[in-house]
Amino acid sequence: EQLAELKASYAWILLDLPAEDTPWTRAMLALADRVINVVVPDANCHIRLHQQTFPANTLFLLNQFSSVSKAQQDLHQLWFNSLHNLIPLTIHRDEAVAEALLNKQPLGEYRPQSLAAEGMVTFANWALINLREKA
């Protein structure tokens, strides 16, 4: 009921849901037009990707990517070829994120030219172009 009221007033409603499978998270996921699952290129995340099922409307966003890591490059390539709904961009691992949090400032204000901030702007623009009216 409250979500319907919010949808009447806003074009986008973002919900940050916990990863654990509970009745509450299942109910919220069922109401979502799109689900964006943030994945980190490491062995733990790779194993977990294959131990659960995701709603059909799930997209995957690669976060904390380090282009100098051979293992992360390999996982990125593997996921690019095997995850059908992998968003075609990455958010880079960047110390500016930790610095912004320590300074209690949004990343885009603290270090707008950082790789992570630029990645988030790119993602926001991608979402505006690619997710509009496709939900």
Average pLDDT, the chain: 91
Cβ-contact 62, 86 below 8 angstroms: yes
User: What confidence category does residue 13 fall into, taking pLDDT thresholds of 50, 70 and 90?
Assistant: confident
pTM > 0.85: yes
Cβ-contact 39, 79 below 8 angstroms: yes
21-42: per-residue pLDDT in tens? 899 998 988 888 899 999 999 9
- Section 95-104 average pLDDT: 96
Q: Indicate left, alpha or beta for 133 from its phi (over 0: left) and psi (-120 to 50: alpha).
A: left
